[in-house]
Amino acid sequence: MELIIYPTNRLIDYATTDSEQTGRQKMEYKNISLAFEGEIGILMINRPKSLNALNIETLKDIQMGIQEVKEHPEVKVLILTGAGEKAFVAGADITEMKGMNSLQAVQFSKLGHLTLRMIQDLDRPVIAAVNGFALGGGTEIALACDFIYASENARFGLPEVTLGIFPGFGGTQRLPRLIGKGKAKELILTGKTISAEEASQMGIVNRVFPQDSLMGETKKVATQIVANGAIGVRLAKMVMDTGFNMDLEEACTLESYAFGIGFATEDQKEGMTAFVEKRKPNFKGR
C-alpha cells in the first residue's frame, strides 16, 4: 500500500489491486466520481441526498479528482457535473457551516477558493454541465469552469444573503467579472434565483439543452475541442485567463510569446501542412 501526501495534507490510500491490474493507480473517492471516456474526463459531484452540497470532504475529493486528471495527460477536456436529475450543486453544505466560528469560516472559504482555483487553473478546458440547482457554491463552482452549459430545469443564483451571509467561494469576484457589476449586485444582493434561460440571457450560461441531451451535447462540444491541437488549446486558455487581468498591451505581448511557443510544436507543422495538403490534421499534442 502506497501513501501519497497531497497539498491538503490528506493521506490517500491507493487500491493496490487496481494498480496492479491496470498499471494505473485507482483513486477512491467518497463524494465524487471520476470517469474517463477516451480523451474526455467526467468529474461528477456525487452526494445526491444533500443535492450534492459541498462539504469539506467533497471539496477535498474534488481537489484530488483534479489532481488525478493532471496525472492523465491523455485527458484533453474535463466535464464537471452533478449526480442525479435534480441538482448540480445546491451550494456549500449549510449543515456543516451552521456551527462554524469566524476562523473556521475563513478556512472553509479558503478551501473553496483553492478548490475552485484548481479547476480554473487546470491546463485543459473544463466545461460545467449544470443539470439542476446550481445555488450559492453551485453557481460559484460553475463560474470557475471555462464555460457553462445548462439543462432547461437548471436554476442559478447566489442566495447566501437569505442565510444571513454572502457568497464565499468567489461569487462576489467572478460573477461581476463575467456579467458586470450591476447585474451581479442585483443577483447577489437580492439572493434571487434565476432560470437557465435567464442565466443564458445574462451571459452566465453559454447554451441551454433539454435535460436528457445535456451530457450528450456537452460531450459533442468536448469532442470538437479534443480534435484540435491540444497545446494550442491549452495556450489559448492560459493566455485568455492570464491576460484578462492585465492591461491590453501587456496581455497582447503575452499573447505574442505564447503564439511563438505554438510554432515550436509538431502540431503547428501538422496543422498547417494538413491545410496545404487539403486533408484533416492528425494532431499528437506535442
Q: Which phi and psi angles does 8 have, rounded to 5°?
A: -75, 0
- With binding defined as CB under 6 A, does residue 82 bind ligand CAA? no
Q: Which of 65, 82, 91, 232 binds ligand CAA (CB under 6 A)?
A: 91
Question: What gap in Å lies between CA 178 and CA 204, rounded to an integer?
Answer: 7
Buried b (16+ CB within 10 A) or exposed e, 106-135: eebbebbbebbebbbebebbbbbbbbbbbb
Select from 14-22, 35-43, 129-137, 204-212 the region that touches ligand CAA (CB under 6 A): 129-137
- With binding defined as CB under 6 A, does residue 88 bind ligand CAA? no
In the annotation, is 250 catalytic?
A: no
Three cell numbers at 211? 435535460
Please tell me which residue in 68, 96, 140, 250 is annotated as part of the active site: 140
* Interacting residues with ligand CAA between 5 and 64 (CB under 6 A): 50-51, 53
- With binding defined as CB under 6 A, does residue 161 bind ligand CAA? no
Q: Which phi and psi angles does 42 have, rounded to 5°?
A: -125, 110
In the annotation, is 186 catalytic?
A: no
Please tell me which residue in 2, 71, 74, 160 is annotated as part of the active site: 160
- With binding defined as CB under 6 A, does residue 101 bind ligand CAA? no
Question: What gap in Å lies between CA 46 and CA 24, rounded to an integer?
Answer: 23
Q: Quick one: CA dihedral 189, 162, 97, 35, positive or negative?
A: negative
Q: How far is the CB of 54 from ligand CAA (least distance, A)?
A: 7
Contact residues: ligand CAA, CB under 6 A = 50-51, 53, 90-95, 112, 133, 135-137, 140, 159-160, 163, 167-169, 171
